[in-house]
Structures are given as structure tokens and as C-alpha cells.
Homo-oligomer: A and B are copies of this chain.
Amino acid sequence: MAIKTPQQYIDSLKDGRIVYCNGGRVPDVTEHPILKICRDWVAMDYVLNNDPRYQDLLTEINEAGERASFALMPQRTKEDLLRLREMVKLWARVCFGKPPGAKFVAKDGLNALTVVSQRVDKKYGTNYAERVEGYRDYLQKNDSAFALAMTDVKGDRSLRPSQQTPHQDYYVRIVEERKDGITVRGAKTHISQAPLCNELLMVPCRAMREEDKAYALAFAVPVNSPGVTLISAEPEVHEHGNLFDHPIAGSVYINDATIIFEDVFVPNDRIFLKGEWDFSGQVAYMFANFHRLSAETYKAMELELFTGAATLMAEYNGVERAPHIREKLTWLVMYTEAVEILGRSACEHCISEPDSDLVYPNPLYANICKFYFADNWHQATKYIQDIAGGIVATCPSSKDFFNPEIHDMLDRAFGGKAGVPTEDRLRLVKLIRDLTSSYEDILTIHAEGSLEAQKMSIMVLGDFDRYRASAMRAARIKNPKPHPLFEALPEFPPQL
């Protein structure tokens, strides 16, 4: 089939899947007023792939001679990474900062499995690599939307999977091994767009020890597999189509769902890790390595939008020349551009994965970028809220604004700088409310790994030998571990 049309994508979702939202079972996810928001957002992947202007960027003829999403192909060069970066930029710019998730997240899980499966096969003589490739072909052939089911519900965070009480299903695990496959149980959460995808790709979210063996598990199943129940995240909005009051939340419903696996059967050819506990952490780690590109690209686009909103708001309020406003806008430009530079540099100085022919962004740079972005977000929201004023909290509904009984009085009252239509000013106010919601805050801090996760990576990846060598030379301390960059440098001060 190769590239699906949006309609084919929509039709593919009518498959009996079990999805709940706002207290009720959803008979058809494609027609539910709120889930439809998620549907249309995911569908943009298909809209764009079918748009001749973007097809060269977004798709590629695969080995089978069919056109397929470039996102479903492994990246092998710096240029591939930079192209992927352009793809993510396009997705993000089109969809107000949030790339539609048909492949956006799960492709990085697939790449992680491509790398790690080869390592596992080498050590244990398994044939996971072949299965992963088979699954990759399947996805390309069906142009599947697939979700990455990674984060377990976790229970008590201070305990390992097998230590949990009162039950052992806080992480997804094998409950039965059969000749033709396995049966699994447990729950995953924060699974973006899962209710609107075709497939779930399940990978572990952490390193395991031997006693957690049953949890060292990676596999794929269709969303409508028996035993799979998806419960939608509580939506931010309560109606479809009100894009005035909710320009972002009304058009992007990521629906980070919770997925319950109740004795779900997985056939052998869709199992990619089964008990090889010593590789569990590697899958999670390699996923992060690949996924850094995505996060760092779309965040830069989000900030472009964010800084634009702050700039316009300052202008609409007539305060753009106030020194403290200029200070804040300057900071926002720095923040926006630094995220772009750091993210791009991670691609420009990418790493070749030794066990495969894949490349991924420089993980030190990538973690710095992600941390920098997430760590400064709340400062940015403070600034934009300060610029925008109390109206972000107190603005009436657009239904009042467009109510003919009071429209004129509101149109007069809410004017800003002369020449700016009141309607535009209010649209911007509502945009800023959406941009600074609790939802956006949480997404920033927790999506693609927490601040602590980045800090741990940075501590591991820092080039401490180089740093130490520099300090020892200056302090005239003999370095027990001479460093190539420093050991041969001439004496300073010189003997003259």
C-alpha cells in the first residue's frame, strides 16, 4: 500500500479497540468529539506525506520499491539526521509546535531495537534483529501509525519492578510463555496518541536486574489486541471546534493514554526482547539517544511560536518599548535560538552507533539541549504572562465576545494599541493561556525524560579526563593519566 491517505488512516482505526474517555467507552474513536481532535492531528502525517510539496522531504522509495515515510527508515549519515530534523520542523510548524505522532515517537523505539537486537543476538544467539526488520517492513508496507509504549505505571518509585506490592503488575511482564508466543500483563502510561494509532510498540523504561527478568520485555501488538484497554488522558478541552478559546488545546490533543494489558497474547515474531535483562536498560538508553533529535527540534519550533506570541502581545498592549519588556523579549530570543543551536549541533556532531550502521545525535549535546529547554520553561511562562497581563486569566469566553448583545461593548473595552483589531488581541490572549497551561508545563518537564534523567546522562557523558588534565597542568599537579591534549603542551610561563 505504501503511503496511506488520511481517509485510509481514519478507516484503519475502526477495528473494535477498547478505548475510554471522560467516563465512557468510546464506540468509534474516529467520531468521538474529543478524540477526533487527536485523530485530525495524527492524520496530518498522512496529509503531508500526500502533499507533493513535501513528499521529497518526508518520504523515500524503500528497498521494496514502494514509497514510505522516511521516518520509518534508519538514519545512517549526518545528512540523514539533518533531513529528519527538517521533517520534524515541518511537522511542528504545521501543527503549532507539536509534531503529529503517527511515527514521531515510536520510530525511535524501533531504531533502538534495531541496535540492541543485534547485540542481544550476538550474545544469546537469538534472532531478534530479523524480527525487528520484519516489523519495520510491515510498518512501511502498511504505513502504520504506531505508538511507543514505554513508561510503566511504576507504583512505588523507590522499589524495583519485582519488589512492588501489593501486586506485581506495575511494570509490564510476562505471565506465561507458550510455544507460539507469550502472554503479558501490566500497565503503561503517558502513551501519546495510542488510542489513535494502529500499533503499540512496547519497550522497557529502565535497566533491570536478574530478579526483574520477567519485565525485560519488548514486543509489538495491534491496538485492538484482545486484553488491551486504553484509557484516555482527561482532555484539556470539553468541546470540539472552539479554536478561538483554545487555539492549541482545541487542535492538538496528544491523548497520552494509560494502557492496561490483561493477559495479552504476543506472537513470537513480534517479540524483540524476552528476559535478556542485561539489555533492558540499553533499549531505554538507545531510545533516548534517538529520540533526543525529535524533542530538540520541535521544542525549538514551540519556542519560535512562544516568543512570537510574547512579541505580538507586547506590541498589541503598546508596551514593546518598555525596558523590562525588552529585557524579557531578549531573554526569549536567547532561549529560542539556543535551543535551536544546541539541538542542531547535536546532529551536526552526531555519533555513529558501532554495533549497527545507524547514527544518532551527540548525546551529551542533546541532553544539554533538552535540560536547558526544560529547565528554563517556567521562566519563559513567567515572562509571557507578565507581558500579557491579567487578561489571560480574566478574559471572557469568545462566546461572550461574539454574543451580539454585548459584542460591541467588549470590542471597545478590550482594544489595545490603536489599529490592532480587538479580536486579534483576544486571540493572542487565548493562545498565551494555552501555551502556559499546566499541561504544557508538565509536557516540558517530563516528556522525553525528566530533568534528573538528563542530569544523570550529562554526568556520565562529561569529558572529565580532559577537564582534570587542564586543571592539573595549571595547578602544576602531576597527572597520573596524561591527556593527549595537554601532556605535550609547551611549558608556561616560558623560560626566557
Contacts and interface: CB of A to CB of B under 8 A. Distances in A.
A452 B327 CA distance: 9
Contact of A158 (B233, B319, B437, B478): B319
B390 A95 contact: no
Given A44-B492, A158-B319, A333-B462, A394 B229 contact: no
A470 B467 CA distance: 41
Given A22-B399, A231-B400, A424-B477, A94 B386 contact: no
A20 B473 CA distance: 30
B318 A392 contact: no
A135 B48 CA distance: 58
A446 interface: yes
A161 to B, nearest CB: 13
Nearest to A54: B490
A94 B308 contact: no
Nearest to A251: B493
Contact of A304 (B348, B439, B467): B467
Contact of A334 (B323, B324, B368, B397): B368
Contacts of A333: 364, 458-459, 461-462, 464, 467
B442 A305 contact: no
Interface centre among A164, A245, A333 (most CB of B within 10 A): A333
A153 B413 contact: yes
Contacts of A493: 37, 40-41, 44, 243, 251
Interface in A416-464: 416-418, 424, 427-428, 430-431, 433, 436-439, 441-443, 445-447, 450-452, 455, 458-459, 461-462, 464
A104 interface: no
B10 A496 contact: yes
Given A21-B400, A96-B473, 4 more contacts: A190-B394, A251-B492, A257-B394, A385-B446
19 contacts: A6-B496, A20-B400, A23-B397, A97-B474, A169-B412, A170-B413, A234-B245, A307-B471, A308-B472, A311-B464, A312-B477, A333-B364, A337-B365, A378-B378, A378-B382, A386-B446, A393-B438, A393-B442, A431-B474
Contacts of A406: 20, 229, 231, 260
A480 to B, nearest CB: 10
Interface stretch (A106-114, A214-222, A266-274, A338-346): A338-346
A39 B486 CA distance: 23
A1 interface: no
A64 interface: no
A63 B316 CA distance: 51
A44 to B, nearest CB: 6
Interface residues of A, number: 170
B342 A427 contact: no
A31 to B, nearest CB: 12
Given A365-B341, A381-B378, A459-B326, A494 B308 contact: no
Given A441-B436, A476-B427, A156 B417 contact: yes
Nearest to A438: B436
Given A96-B492, A156-B416, A231-B406, A477 B427 contact: yes
Contact of A233 (B318, B324, B393): B393
A346 to B, nearest CB: 8
Contacts of A312: 468, 471-472, 477
A368 B95 contact: no
A450 B389 CA distance: 8
Nearest to A189: B394
Contact of A409 (B6, B260, B382, B486): B260
A468 B437 contact: no
Interface in A174-196: 187, 189-190
A101 to B, nearest CB: 14
